[in-house]
Amino acid sequence: MCGIVGLYLKNPELESQLGALFEPMLLAMTDRGPDSAGFAIYGDEVVDGWIKLTLQSTTADYDWSSLMGALEGRLGCSLDWFSNADAVVLKLNADEHQARAALTELAPEVRVMSIGQSIEILKGMGLPAAIAERFSLSAMKGSHIIGHTRMATESAVTMEGSHPFSTGNDLCLVHNGSLSNHSRLRQELKRRGLQFETENDTEVAAAYLTWRLREGDSLKQALDHALNDLDGFFTFAIGTREGFAVIRDPIACKPAVLAETEDYVAMASEYQALAGLPGIDQARVWEPEPATMYIWERKSA
Amino acid sequence: MKTIDLSSTPVRELNQALHVQAGAVTEREWLVTHPDGKHNLAVGLNEAVSVDIQGHSGYYCAGMNQKATITIHGNAGVGVAENMMSGLVHVKGSASQSAGATAHGGLLIIDGDAGARCGISLKGADIVVGGSVGHMSCFMGQAGRLVVCGDAGDALGDSLYETRIYVKGSVKSLGSDCIEKAMRAEHLEELTELLNRAGFDEDPASFKRYGSARQLYSFKVDNAAAY
Protein backbone atom coordinates (compact mmCIF):
# COMPACT_ATOMS: atom_id res chain seq x y z
CA MET A 1 0.00 0.00 0.00
CA CYS A 2 0.94 3.60 -0.58
CA GLY A 3 -1.07 6.79 -0.66
CA ILE A 4 -1.07 9.27 -3.50
CA VAL A 5 -2.70 12.66 -3.62
CA GLY A 6 -2.86 15.56 -6.05
CA LEU A 7 -4.42 19.00 -6.05
CA TYR A 8 -4.66 21.08 -9.20
CA LEU A 9 -6.07 24.58 -8.77
CA LYS A 10 -8.33 26.00 -11.44
CA ASN A 11 -8.97 29.17 -9.47
CA PRO A 12 -5.76 31.26 -9.20
CA GLU A 13 -7.13 32.98 -6.11
CA LEU A 14 -6.50 29.78 -4.16
CA GLU A 15 -2.80 29.61 -5.10
CA SER A 16 -1.67 31.27 -1.87
CA GLN A 17 -3.41 28.46 0.05
CA LEU A 18 -2.11 25.51 -1.97
CA GLY A 19 0.12 24.12 0.78
CA ALA A 20 -2.51 24.66 3.49
CA LEU A 21 -5.17 22.87 1.43
CA PHE A 22 -2.80 20.06 0.49
CA GLU A 23 -1.15 19.26 3.83
CA PRO A 24 -4.26 17.60 5.36
CA MET A 25 -4.61 15.55 2.16
CA LEU A 26 -1.09 14.19 2.50
CA LEU A 27 -1.46 13.57 6.24
CA ALA A 28 -4.75 11.70 5.72
CA MET A 29 -2.78 9.10 3.74
CA THR A 30 -0.40 8.34 6.63
CA ASP A 31 -2.16 5.02 7.31
CA ARG A 32 -1.42 3.97 3.74
CA GLY A 33 2.24 4.90 3.91
CA PRO A 34 4.10 5.80 7.10
CA ASP A 35 7.63 5.05 5.81
CA SER A 36 8.38 8.17 3.83
CA ALA A 37 6.63 10.99 2.06
CA GLY A 38 7.26 13.64 -0.53
CA PHE A 39 5.64 16.08 -2.85
CA ALA A 40 6.21 17.99 -6.06
CA ILE A 41 4.91 21.55 -6.05
CA TYR A 42 4.52 23.73 -9.12
CA GLY A 43 4.66 27.52 -9.19
CA ASP A 44 7.13 30.37 -8.73
CA GLU A 45 8.23 29.88 -12.34
CA VAL A 46 11.55 31.12 -13.62
CA VAL A 47 11.64 33.08 -16.89
CA ASP A 48 12.79 31.51 -20.15
CA GLY A 49 16.53 31.01 -20.22
CA TRP A 50 16.59 30.25 -16.49
CA ILE A 51 16.24 26.87 -14.85
CA LYS A 52 15.15 25.88 -11.36
CA LEU A 53 16.72 22.95 -9.51
CA THR A 54 15.79 21.40 -6.19
CA LEU A 55 18.83 19.95 -4.45
CA GLN A 56 18.81 17.84 -1.34
CA SER A 57 21.61 16.75 0.94
CA THR A 58 21.77 13.84 3.34
CA THR A 59 23.35 16.05 5.98
CA ALA A 60 21.23 18.69 7.70
CA ASP A 61 24.06 21.19 8.15
CA TYR A 62 25.35 21.10 4.61
CA ASP A 63 27.36 24.20 3.64
CA TRP A 64 25.15 25.41 0.82
CA SER A 65 26.68 28.93 0.75
CA SER A 66 30.08 27.62 -0.22
CA LEU A 67 28.62 25.39 -2.93
CA MET A 68 26.54 28.24 -4.36
CA GLY A 69 29.61 30.50 -4.45
CA ALA A 70 31.64 27.83 -6.22
CA LEU A 71 28.81 27.16 -8.67
CA GLU A 72 28.46 30.84 -9.52
CA GLY A 73 32.20 31.05 -10.18
CA ARG A 74 32.25 27.92 -12.29
CA LEU A 75 29.22 28.76 -14.44
CA GLY A 76 29.74 32.53 -14.57
CA CYS A 77 26.01 33.14 -14.44
CA SER A 78 23.41 34.85 -12.29
CA LEU A 79 22.16 32.68 -9.47
CA ASP A 80 19.41 32.91 -6.88
CA TRP A 81 18.78 30.40 -4.13
CA PHE A 82 17.05 29.73 -0.84
CA SER A 83 17.22 26.80 1.53
CA ASN A 84 14.35 24.82 3.01
CA ALA A 85 15.36 22.29 5.69
CA ASP A 86 17.88 19.93 4.02
CA ALA A 87 16.96 21.14 0.53
CA VAL A 88 17.80 24.10 -1.63
CA VAL A 89 15.85 25.66 -4.47
CA LEU A 90 18.31 27.07 -6.94
CA LYS A 91 17.50 29.34 -9.87
CA LEU A 92 20.14 29.73 -12.55
CA ASN A 93 20.53 31.71 -15.73
CA ALA A 94 22.25 28.72 -17.27
CA ASP A 95 21.90 25.60 -19.34
CA GLU A 96 20.71 22.40 -17.61
CA HIS A 97 23.60 20.25 -18.80
CA GLN A 98 26.24 22.76 -17.69
CA ALA A 99 24.54 23.03 -14.30
CA ARG A 100 24.37 19.25 -13.86
CA ALA A 101 27.99 18.81 -14.91
CA ALA A 102 29.18 21.52 -12.53
CA LEU A 103 27.18 20.04 -9.65
CA THR A 104 28.50 16.53 -10.31
CA GLU A 105 32.03 17.87 -10.19
CA LEU A 106 31.70 20.28 -7.26
CA ALA A 107 29.30 18.35 -5.04
CA PRO A 108 28.71 14.73 -6.09
CA GLU A 109 27.11 14.10 -2.66
CA VAL A 110 24.29 16.50 -3.39
CA ARG A 111 21.24 15.00 -5.08
CA VAL A 112 19.32 16.77 -7.84
CA MET A 113 15.67 16.10 -6.94
CA SER A 114 14.05 18.00 -9.77
CA ILE A 115 14.80 20.32 -12.62
CA GLY A 116 12.57 22.55 -14.72
CA GLN A 117 11.03 25.99 -14.77
CA SER A 118 8.29 25.37 -12.22
CA ILE A 119 8.73 22.11 -10.28
CA GLU A 120 10.20 21.66 -6.80
CA ILE A 121 10.42 18.13 -5.35
CA LEU A 122 10.89 17.71 -1.62
CA LYS A 123 10.88 14.36 0.16
CA GLY A 124 12.22 12.43 3.08
CA MET A 125 11.97 9.41 5.33
CA GLY A 126 9.59 9.24 8.26
CA LEU A 127 6.00 10.12 8.99
CA PRO A 128 4.27 12.44 6.52
CA ALA A 129 3.49 14.89 9.35
CA ALA A 130 7.19 15.25 10.19
CA ILE A 131 8.11 15.80 6.55
CA ALA A 132 5.32 18.35 5.99
CA GLU A 133 6.49 20.24 9.05
CA ARG A 134 10.16 20.06 8.10
CA PHE A 135 9.50 21.73 4.75
CA SER A 136 6.76 24.09 6.06
CA LEU A 137 4.36 22.62 3.50
CA SER A 138 1.30 24.46 4.83
CA ALA A 139 2.82 27.85 3.99
CA MET A 140 3.69 26.97 0.39
CA LYS A 141 2.10 28.65 -2.60
CA GLY A 142 1.68 27.35 -6.11
CA SER A 143 -0.67 26.23 -8.85
CA HIS A 144 -0.67 22.47 -8.30
CA ILE A 145 0.97 19.77 -6.24
CA ILE A 146 1.17 15.99 -6.10
CA GLY A 147 2.31 13.94 -3.16
CA HIS A 148 3.01 10.45 -1.93
CA THR A 149 3.11 8.54 1.33
CA ARG A 150 5.09 5.33 1.06
CA MET A 151 4.68 1.85 2.48
CA ALA A 152 7.81 0.25 1.10
CA THR A 153 7.41 -2.94 -0.92
CA GLU A 154 9.78 -3.05 -3.87
CA SER A 155 12.87 -1.52 -2.29
CA ALA A 156 14.31 -0.33 1.01
CA VAL A 157 13.10 2.64 3.01
CA THR A 158 15.55 5.31 1.92
CA MET A 159 15.25 8.89 0.80
CA GLU A 160 16.03 7.73 -2.74
CA GLY A 161 13.20 5.25 -2.58
CA SER A 162 10.64 7.84 -1.60
CA HIS A 163 8.48 9.50 -4.21
CA PRO A 164 7.90 11.60 -6.28
CA PHE A 165 10.34 10.57 -8.96
CA SER A 166 11.23 13.17 -11.53
CA THR A 167 10.78 11.95 -15.08
CA GLY A 168 12.26 14.92 -16.89
CA ASN A 169 11.99 18.67 -16.91
CA ASP A 170 8.98 19.74 -14.84
CA LEU A 171 7.59 16.20 -14.92
CA CYS A 172 7.19 13.85 -12.03
CA LEU A 173 5.35 10.71 -11.11
CA VAL A 174 3.95 9.11 -7.96
CA HIS A 175 2.85 5.50 -7.87
CA ASN A 176 0.64 3.27 -5.79
CA GLY A 177 1.08 -0.37 -6.72
CA SER A 178 3.83 -2.66 -7.88
CA LEU A 179 5.28 -3.35 -11.30
CA SER A 180 6.04 -6.95 -12.16
CA ASN A 181 8.32 -6.36 -15.16
CA HIS A 182 10.50 -3.59 -13.74
CA SER A 183 13.74 -5.60 -13.75
CA ARG A 184 13.61 -6.35 -17.44
CA LEU A 185 12.40 -2.86 -18.30
CA ARG A 186 15.25 -1.39 -16.26
CA GLN A 187 17.77 -3.35 -18.32
CA GLU A 188 16.20 -2.19 -21.56
CA LEU A 189 16.10 1.42 -20.42
CA LYS A 190 19.72 1.22 -19.25
CA ARG A 191 20.70 0.10 -22.74
CA ARG A 192 18.94 3.21 -24.03
CA GLY A 193 21.14 5.32 -21.79
CA LEU A 194 18.85 6.03 -18.85
CA GLN A 195 20.42 6.13 -15.41
CA PHE A 196 19.02 4.69 -12.21
CA GLU A 197 19.75 5.56 -8.60
CA THR A 198 17.62 2.93 -6.87
CA GLU A 199 16.18 -0.57 -7.22
CA ASN A 200 12.70 0.95 -6.98
CA ASP A 201 10.04 -0.11 -9.50
CA THR A 202 8.57 3.39 -9.62
CA GLU A 203 11.87 4.81 -10.76
CA VAL A 204 11.58 2.44 -13.74
CA ALA A 205 8.14 3.86 -14.56
CA ALA A 206 9.54 7.38 -14.27
CA ALA A 207 12.51 6.50 -16.49
CA TYR A 208 10.17 4.87 -18.97
CA LEU A 209 8.19 8.09 -19.33
CA THR A 210 11.41 10.09 -19.59
CA TRP A 211 12.46 7.85 -22.46
CA ARG A 212 9.13 8.10 -24.28
CA LEU A 213 9.07 11.88 -23.94
CA ARG A 214 12.65 12.05 -25.17
CA GLU A 215 11.55 10.03 -28.20
CA GLY A 216 9.09 12.81 -28.99
CA ASP A 217 5.87 11.45 -27.47
CA SER A 218 3.32 13.84 -26.08
CA LEU A 219 2.35 13.11 -22.47
CA LYS A 220 -0.78 11.37 -23.75
CA GLN A 221 1.21 9.23 -26.18
CA ALA A 222 3.77 8.36 -23.50
CA LEU A 223 1.00 7.23 -21.16
CA ASP A 224 -0.59 5.19 -23.95
CA HIS A 225 2.72 3.39 -24.42
CA ALA A 226 3.04 2.95 -20.66
CA LEU A 227 -0.30 1.14 -20.55
CA ASN A 228 1.07 -1.37 -23.05
CA ASP A 229 4.58 -1.80 -21.68
CA LEU A 230 4.23 -1.59 -17.91
CA ASP A 231 3.04 -4.82 -16.35
CA GLY A 232 1.62 -4.90 -12.85
CA PHE A 233 -0.60 -2.83 -10.65
CA PHE A 234 -0.48 0.91 -10.71
CA THR A 235 -2.32 4.08 -10.09
CA PHE A 236 -0.12 6.97 -11.22
CA ALA A 237 -0.49 10.67 -10.58
CA ILE A 238 1.72 12.68 -12.89
CA GLY A 239 2.63 16.33 -12.56
CA THR A 240 3.52 18.49 -15.54
CA ARG A 241 4.33 22.19 -15.81
CA GLU A 242 0.84 22.84 -17.16
CA GLY A 243 -1.22 20.42 -15.13
CA PHE A 244 -1.57 16.89 -13.98
CA ALA A 245 -2.74 13.46 -15.04
CA VAL A 246 -4.12 10.33 -13.42
CA ILE A 247 -3.97 6.85 -14.89
CA ARG A 248 -4.72 3.33 -13.62
CA ASP A 249 -3.74 -0.06 -14.98
CA PRO A 250 -6.35 -2.18 -16.83
CA ILE A 251 -7.05 -4.35 -13.76
CA ALA A 252 -7.53 -1.25 -11.59
CA CYS A 253 -6.67 -2.98 -8.33
CA LYS A 254 -5.14 0.10 -6.81
CA PRO A 255 -7.68 2.60 -5.60
CA ALA A 256 -8.18 6.15 -6.78
CA VAL A 257 -10.86 8.76 -6.39
CA LEU A 258 -11.23 12.09 -8.18
CA ALA A 259 -13.15 15.20 -7.20
CA GLU A 260 -13.78 18.26 -9.32
CA THR A 261 -15.29 21.65 -8.54
CA GLU A 262 -15.08 25.01 -10.32
CA ASP A 263 -12.06 25.79 -8.15
CA TYR A 264 -9.97 22.62 -8.31
CA VAL A 265 -9.41 19.03 -9.33
CA ALA A 266 -8.29 16.77 -6.50
CA MET A 267 -7.12 13.17 -6.61
CA ALA A 268 -6.39 10.71 -3.83
CA SER A 269 -6.06 7.00 -3.12
CA GLU A 270 -9.01 7.31 -0.78
CA TYR A 271 -11.81 9.78 -0.23
CA GLN A 272 -10.57 10.46 3.31
CA ALA A 273 -7.87 12.69 1.83
CA LEU A 274 -10.44 14.84 0.03
CA ALA A 275 -12.93 15.18 2.89
CA GLY A 276 -11.53 18.48 4.20
CA LEU A 277 -11.39 20.38 0.90
CA PRO A 278 -13.64 23.43 0.59
CA GLY A 279 -16.85 22.74 -1.33
CA ILE A 280 -16.22 18.98 -1.41
CA ASP A 281 -19.87 18.32 -0.52
CA GLN A 282 -20.90 19.83 -3.86
CA ALA A 283 -17.98 18.38 -5.86
CA ARG A 284 -18.35 15.78 -8.59
CA VAL A 285 -16.70 12.73 -7.03
CA TRP A 286 -15.93 9.64 -9.10
CA GLU A 287 -13.62 6.68 -9.43
CA PRO A 288 -11.34 6.79 -12.49
CA GLU A 289 -11.90 3.99 -15.00
CA PRO A 290 -9.21 1.36 -15.61
CA ALA A 291 -6.74 2.02 -18.45
CA THR A 292 -8.14 5.49 -18.91
CA MET A 293 -6.26 8.76 -18.91
CA TYR A 294 -7.44 11.81 -17.05
CA ILE A 295 -5.49 14.94 -17.91
CA TRP A 296 -6.01 18.54 -16.79
CA GLU A 297 -3.90 21.26 -18.32
CA ARG A 298 -3.72 25.00 -18.08
CA LYS A 299 -4.62 26.45 -21.47
CA SER A 300 -2.56 29.62 -21.21
CA ALA A 301 0.80 27.89 -20.75
CA MET B 1 -32.77 8.54 17.04
CA LYS B 2 -29.19 8.15 18.20
CA THR B 3 -26.68 10.41 16.47
CA ILE B 4 -22.96 9.71 16.35
CA ASP B 5 -20.66 12.39 14.95
CA LEU B 6 -17.50 10.81 13.56
CA SER B 7 -15.67 14.14 13.54
CA SER B 8 -15.48 13.77 17.33
CA THR B 9 -16.13 10.04 17.95
CA PRO B 10 -13.79 7.22 16.81
CA VAL B 11 -15.17 4.56 14.43
CA ARG B 12 -14.44 1.92 17.07
CA GLU B 13 -16.90 3.58 19.44
CA LEU B 14 -19.57 3.71 16.75
CA ASN B 15 -19.22 0.02 15.96
CA GLN B 16 -19.04 -0.91 19.64
CA ALA B 17 -22.25 1.04 20.35
CA LEU B 18 -23.97 -0.70 17.43
CA HIS B 19 -22.77 -4.12 18.59
CA VAL B 20 -24.16 -3.54 22.07
CA GLN B 21 -27.55 -3.66 20.33
CA ALA B 22 -27.03 -7.35 19.63
CA GLY B 23 -28.15 -8.29 23.14
CA ALA B 24 -31.15 -6.00 23.51
CA VAL B 25 -32.06 -3.42 20.93
CA THR B 26 -32.62 -0.11 22.68
CA GLU B 27 -32.06 2.18 19.69
CA ARG B 28 -33.62 1.23 16.36
CA GLU B 29 -32.51 4.30 14.43
CA TRP B 30 -28.98 5.59 14.13
CA LEU B 31 -27.60 8.61 12.34
CA VAL B 32 -23.89 8.82 11.54
CA THR B 33 -22.57 12.26 10.61
CA HIS B 34 -19.19 13.29 9.13
CA PRO B 35 -18.15 9.83 7.89
CA ASP B 36 -15.60 11.57 5.61
CA GLY B 37 -14.55 8.35 3.90
CA LYS B 38 -13.65 6.50 7.09
CA HIS B 39 -13.28 2.72 6.82
CA ASN B 40 -15.28 -0.13 8.37
CA LEU B 41 -18.39 1.83 9.30
CA ALA B 42 -21.32 -0.16 10.70
CA VAL B 43 -19.70 -3.57 10.15
CA GLY B 44 -20.87 -6.85 11.66
CA LEU B 45 -24.36 -5.69 12.66
CA ASN B 46 -26.75 -8.49 13.47
CA GLU B 47 -29.97 -6.86 14.61
CA ALA B 48 -32.72 -5.08 12.71
CA VAL B 49 -31.48 -1.57 13.36
CA SER B 50 -31.41 1.22 10.80
CA VAL B 51 -28.22 3.23 10.23
CA ASP B 52 -28.11 6.37 8.08
CA ILE B 53 -24.62 7.46 7.08
CA GLN B 54 -24.68 11.10 6.02
CA GLY B 55 -21.85 11.28 3.49
CA HIS B 56 -19.19 9.20 1.76
CA SER B 57 -17.95 6.01 3.42
CA GLY B 58 -14.57 4.33 3.04
CA TYR B 59 -13.64 0.66 2.72
CA TYR B 60 -15.87 -2.26 3.76
CA CYS B 61 -18.84 -0.23 4.96
CA ALA B 62 -21.72 -2.44 6.19
CA GLY B 63 -19.62 -5.58 5.84
CA MET B 64 -20.99 -8.88 7.20
CA ASN B 65 -24.40 -7.27 7.71
CA GLN B 66 -27.27 -9.30 9.16
CA LYS B 67 -30.80 -7.90 9.44
CA ALA B 68 -29.77 -4.22 9.60
CA THR B 69 -30.77 -1.55 7.10
CA ILE B 70 -27.81 0.68 6.29
CA THR B 71 -28.13 3.69 4.00
CA ILE B 72 -25.09 5.57 2.73
CA HIS B 73 -26.08 9.07 1.60
CA GLY B 74 -23.01 9.40 -0.63
CA ASN B 75 -20.44 7.19 -2.33
CA ALA B 76 -19.12 3.96 -0.85
CA GLY B 77 -15.51 2.80 -0.96
CA VAL B 78 -14.08 -0.64 -1.75
CA GLY B 79 -16.08 -3.69 -0.65
CA VAL B 80 -19.35 -2.17 0.52
CA ALA B 81 -21.67 -4.84 2.04
CA GLU B 82 -18.95 -7.45 1.62
CA ASN B 83 -20.12 -10.83 2.88
CA MET B 84 -23.59 -9.53 3.79
CA MET B 85 -25.83 -12.30 5.17
CA SER B 86 -29.21 -10.54 5.23
CA GLY B 87 -30.73 -7.10 5.57
CA LEU B 88 -30.50 -4.11 3.25
CA VAL B 89 -27.63 -1.86 2.23
CA HIS B 90 -28.52 1.16 0.08
CA VAL B 91 -25.80 3.33 -1.49
CA LYS B 92 -27.38 6.57 -2.70
CA GLY B 93 -24.28 7.51 -4.69
CA SER B 94 -21.78 5.27 -6.49
CA ALA B 95 -19.78 2.36 -5.12
CA SER B 96 -16.13 1.47 -5.64
CA GLN B 97 -14.87 -1.97 -6.63
CA SER B 98 -15.92 -5.33 -5.12
CA ALA B 99 -19.33 -4.11 -3.97
CA GLY B 100 -21.25 -6.97 -2.36
CA ALA B 101 -18.31 -9.37 -2.69
CA THR B 102 -19.10 -12.90 -1.42
CA ALA B 103 -22.46 -11.73 -0.01
CA HIS B 104 -24.70 -14.63 1.00
CA GLY B 105 -28.06 -12.88 1.37
CA GLY B 106 -29.90 -9.61 1.69
CA LEU B 107 -30.22 -6.79 -0.83
CA LEU B 108 -27.60 -4.26 -1.93
CA ILE B 109 -28.95 -1.27 -3.85
CA ILE B 110 -26.56 1.12 -5.57
CA ASP B 111 -28.27 4.15 -7.12
CA GLY B 112 -25.19 5.21 -9.10
CA ASP B 113 -22.44 3.14 -10.69
CA ALA B 114 -20.46 0.26 -9.20
CA GLY B 115 -16.76 -0.21 -9.99
CA ALA B 116 -14.90 -3.32 -11.06
CA ARG B 117 -15.75 -6.78 -9.74
CA CYS B 118 -19.20 -5.89 -8.41
CA GLY B 119 -20.65 -9.04 -6.83
CA ILE B 120 -17.40 -11.01 -7.15
CA SER B 121 -17.96 -14.54 -5.81
CA LEU B 122 -21.58 -13.68 -5.00
CA LYS B 123 -23.06 -16.44 -2.85
CA GLY B 124 -26.77 -15.65 -2.71
CA ALA B 125 -27.38 -11.94 -2.14
CA ASP B 126 -29.18 -9.68 -4.60
CA ILE B 127 -27.51 -6.59 -6.01
CA VAL B 128 -29.41 -3.95 -7.98
CA VAL B 129 -27.36 -1.21 -9.61
CA GLY B 130 -29.05 1.88 -11.04
CA GLY B 131 -26.05 2.80 -13.17
CA SER B 132 -23.27 0.72 -14.72
CA VAL B 133 -20.89 -1.91 -13.35
CA GLY B 134 -17.16 -2.25 -14.04
CA HIS B 135 -15.19 -5.10 -15.49
CA MET B 136 -15.30 -8.68 -14.18
CA SER B 137 -18.55 -8.17 -12.32
CA CYS B 138 -19.97 -11.36 -10.83
CA PHE B 139 -16.64 -13.15 -11.41
CA MET B 140 -17.19 -16.67 -10.05
CA GLY B 141 -20.69 -15.77 -8.89
CA GLN B 142 -22.20 -18.82 -7.24
CA ALA B 143 -25.77 -17.82 -6.36
CA GLY B 144 -27.98 -14.75 -6.09
CA ARG B 145 -28.91 -12.11 -8.67
CA LEU B 146 -27.20 -9.02 -10.13
CA VAL B 147 -29.35 -6.43 -11.88
CA VAL B 148 -27.64 -3.67 -13.87
CA CYS B 149 -29.81 -0.85 -15.24
CA GLY B 150 -26.85 0.69 -17.10
CA ASP B 151 -23.97 -1.02 -18.90
CA ALA B 152 -21.56 -3.78 -17.89
CA GLY B 153 -17.78 -3.68 -18.44
CA ASP B 154 -15.47 -6.37 -19.81
CA ALA B 155 -15.67 -10.04 -18.87
CA LEU B 156 -19.10 -9.96 -17.25
CA GLY B 157 -19.77 -13.15 -15.32
CA ASP B 158 -16.36 -14.68 -15.92
CA SER B 159 -16.22 -18.29 -14.66
CA LEU B 160 -19.79 -17.96 -13.50
CA TYR B 161 -21.55 -20.68 -11.51
CA GLU B 162 -25.23 -20.05 -10.74
CA THR B 163 -25.65 -16.30 -10.24
CA ARG B 164 -28.28 -14.84 -12.59
CA ILE B 165 -27.38 -11.52 -14.22
CA TYR B 166 -29.79 -9.03 -15.80
CA VAL B 167 -28.40 -6.10 -17.79
CA LYS B 168 -30.42 -3.37 -19.48
CA GLY B 169 -27.60 -1.59 -21.31
CA SER B 170 -24.65 -2.85 -23.31
CA VAL B 171 -22.23 -5.53 -22.19
CA LYS B 172 -18.66 -4.79 -23.26
CA SER B 173 -17.75 -8.45 -23.27
CA LEU B 174 -18.82 -11.68 -21.63
CA GLY B 175 -16.35 -13.59 -19.51
CA SER B 176 -15.42 -17.21 -19.88
CA ASP B 177 -18.43 -19.54 -19.78
CA CYS B 178 -20.95 -16.68 -19.47
CA ILE B 179 -23.69 -16.61 -22.11
CA GLU B 180 -26.86 -14.72 -22.89
CA LYS B 181 -29.95 -16.73 -21.99
CA ALA B 182 -33.63 -16.48 -22.82
CA MET B 183 -35.87 -14.31 -20.66
CA ARG B 184 -38.69 -16.61 -19.66
CA ALA B 185 -41.78 -15.60 -17.69
CA GLU B 186 -40.20 -16.68 -14.41
CA HIS B 187 -37.21 -14.41 -15.06
CA LEU B 188 -39.40 -11.41 -15.90
CA GLU B 189 -41.24 -12.03 -12.68
CA GLU B 190 -38.04 -12.32 -10.69
CA LEU B 191 -36.59 -9.16 -12.28
CA THR B 192 -39.81 -7.19 -11.75
CA GLU B 193 -39.78 -8.12 -8.10
CA LEU B 194 -36.10 -7.10 -7.72
CA LEU B 195 -36.60 -3.75 -9.48
CA ASN B 196 -39.66 -3.02 -7.37
CA ARG B 197 -37.85 -3.88 -4.18
CA ALA B 198 -34.95 -1.63 -5.16
CA GLY B 199 -37.32 1.17 -6.11
CA PHE B 200 -36.21 1.47 -9.74
CA ASP B 201 -38.80 2.35 -12.36
CA GLU B 202 -37.38 0.31 -15.24
CA ASP B 203 -39.14 -1.87 -17.80
CA PRO B 204 -38.13 -5.50 -17.07
CA ALA B 205 -38.75 -6.40 -20.73
CA SER B 206 -35.83 -4.19 -21.81
CA PHE B 207 -33.27 -6.31 -19.90
CA LYS B 208 -31.27 -9.26 -21.14
CA ARG B 209 -30.39 -12.24 -18.99
CA TYR B 210 -26.93 -13.78 -18.69
CA GLY B 211 -25.85 -16.92 -16.95
CA SER B 212 -23.45 -19.81 -16.89
CA ALA B 213 -23.07 -22.15 -19.87
CA ARG B 214 -21.97 -24.69 -17.25
CA GLN B 215 -19.14 -25.94 -19.43
CA LEU B 216 -16.31 -24.80 -17.22
CA TYR B 217 -17.10 -26.00 -13.76
CA SER B 218 -18.12 -29.58 -14.38
CA PHE B 219 -14.76 -31.18 -13.81
CA LYS B 220 -14.38 -34.47 -15.65
CA VAL B 221 -11.81 -36.85 -14.29
CA ASP B 222 -11.10 -38.09 -17.81
CA ASN B 223 -9.73 -34.64 -18.59
CA ALA B 224 -7.46 -34.50 -15.53
CA ALA B 225 -4.33 -34.74 -17.66
CA ALA B 226 -5.27 -31.48 -19.37
CA TYR B 227 -5.10 -29.44 -16.15
Check whether A196 has a pLDDT greater than 50: yes
Check whether A96 has a pLDDT greater than 50: yes
With residues binned 3-state (H G I as helix, E B as strand, rest as coil), the percentages for chain B, rounded to 5, are 15, 25, 60
Per the structure, how many domains does chain B have?
A: 1
pLDDT (0 to 100) of residue A157:
86
Check whether B23 has a pLDDT greater than 50: yes
End position of a domain, from candidates A64, A89, A117: A117
Q: Inter-chain contact A285–B116, Cβ cutoff 8 Å?
A: no
- Give me the mean pLDDT over the A89-103 stretch: 93
Please tell me if residue A88 touches chain B, with a CB cutoff of 8 Å.
no
Check if the beta carbon of residue A270 is closer than 8 Å to that of residue A257. yes
End position of a domain, from candidates A117, A137, A171: A117
Q: Which residues of B touch A273 (CB under 8 A)?
A: 37
Check whether B223 has a pLDDT greater than 90: no
Q: What is the mean pLDDT of chain A?
A: 93
Judgement on whether residues A229 and A292 belong to the same structural domain of the protein: yes
| pLDDT band at residue A60 under the 50/70/90 scheme | confident
Q: How far apart are the first and last CA of chain B?
A: 58
Q: Is B227 part of any domain?
A: no
Q: Which of A5, A270, A271 to mutate to test the interface with B (most CBs of B within 10 A)?
A: A271
Q: Is B186 exposed, middle or buried (0-12, 13-18, 19+ CB in 10 A)?
A: exposed
Residues of B with CB under 8 A from a CB of A: 36-38, 55-56, 58-59, 75, 77-78, 93-94, 96-97, 115-116, 134-135
**Closest Cα in chain A to B116:** A252
Judgement on whether residues A173 and A268 belong to the same structural domain of the protein: yes
Question: Cα(A99)–Cα(B9) distance, rounded to whole angstroms?
Answer: 54
Query: Which structural domain range is residue A217 located in?
Result: 3-45+120-297
End position of a domain, from candidates A117, A136, A164: A117
Judgement on whether residues A68 and A158 belong to the same structural domain of the protein: no
Please tell me if residue A274 touches chain B, with a CB cutoff of 8 Å.
yes
Judgement on whether residues A97 and A131 belong to the same structural domain of the protein: no
Pick A153 or A79 by higher pLDDT.
Answer: A79
Cα–Cα nearest to A20, from A130, A140, A144: A140
Check whether A301 has a pLDDT greater than 90: no
Q: Is B220 part of any domain?
A: no
* CATH classification of the domain holding A87: 3.30.70.260
Judgement on whether residues A108 and A140 belong to the same structural domain of the protein: no
Q: Which residues of B touch A271 (CB under 8 A)?
A: 36-37, 56, 58, 75, 77
Q: Is B223 part of any domain?
A: no
Cα–Cα nearest to A166, from A194, A188, A140: A194
| pLDDT band at residue B179 under the 50/70/90 scheme | very high
Judgement on whether residues A162 and A288 belong to the same structural domain of the protein: yes
pLDDT (0 to 100) of residue B226:
67
Judgement on whether residues A144 and A155 belong to the same structural domain of the protein: yes
Judgement on whether residues A222 and A282 belong to the same structural domain of the protein: yes
Q: Is B222 part of any domain?
A: no
* CATH classification of the domain holding B80: 2.160.20.60
Judgement on whether residues A199 and A272 belong to the same structural domain of the protein: yes
Query: Which structural domain range is residue B76 located in?
Result: 2-214
Q: Inter-chain contact B115–A271, Cβ cutoff 8 Å?
A: no
Percentage of chain B beyond pLDDT 70 is: 98
Q: Is B224 part of any domain?
A: no
Q: Is B219 part of any domain?
A: no
* CATH classification of the domain holding A223: 3.60.20.10
pLDDT (0 to 100) of residue B16:
96
Is A77 marked active-site?
no
Q: Inter-chain contact B58–A272, Cβ cutoff 8 Å?
A: yes
pLDDT (0 to 100) of residue A58:
80
Distance from CA of A260 to the nearest CA of B (A): 15
Per the structure, how many domains does chain A have?
A: 2
Q: Is B161 part of any domain?
A: yes
Say what the ipTM of the complex is: 0.88
Judgement on whether residues A177 and A33 belong to the same structural domain of the protein: yes
